[in-house]
Amino acid sequence: MTVTLGLDGSGTVDIVAGGYEDWEAKRKKPVAPAKAKAPVRPDSSTPQRTPASGGGSRVKLSYKDQRDYDLLPARIEEIEAEIAKGEHALADPGLYNRNPEEFARMTALLDTLRAEKDAAEERWLALAELVEG
């Protein structure tokens, strides 16, 4: 099945099942003018709801929330890699005997990384729930 994303310069994207001709046909259909409403300034601290193609409603995330939603999975992977590296270093049975300060520093770092990972996962899950509605 072919899906076409139509960009007409108005800032909206038309998603049409079919090709370019189908999009052109949809674009040329007259659209009833919407009733004029007084512009409402949305509160920037709350996500905005916009109609979705699935019949429900979808949340439009703020710039910061959308950026977090996009970047957190990669950051979580980075944290997991750092945790694995630290656990590998702590797996050395002689580390504590050779350098107890390093052992204590690595243990504290791992605790911090695990807390950061948990917080990042919770933030991403909360944003995912908003996006999915």
Q: What average pLDDT does the structure give for the chain?
A: 79
Asked if pLDDT for residue 65 goes beyond 80, the answer is yes
Domain definitions of the chain by residue range? 63-132
The helix or strand, by DSSP H or E, that contains position 85, with its residue range, turns out to be helix 63-90
Question: Could you tell me if 49 and 58 are in contact, meaning their C-beta atoms sit under 8 angstroms apart?
Answer: yes
Residue 42: alpha-carbon gap to chain centroid: 21
Asked if pLDDT for residue 18 goes beyond 80, the answer is no
27-41, 56-70, 76-90: which range is least confident on average?
A: 27-41
What's the pTM?
0.55
Indicate left, alpha or beta for 9 from its phi (over 0: left) and psi (-120 to 50: alpha).
left
Residue 82: alpha-carbon gap to chain centroid: 22
Which one of 3.40.50.2300, 3.30.2420.10, 3.40.50.720, 1.10.287.380 gives the CATH number of domain 63-132?
1.10.287.380
pLDDT value at position 53?
46
DSSP state of 133: -
Higher pLDDT, 80 or 48: 80
pLDDT value at position 14?
73
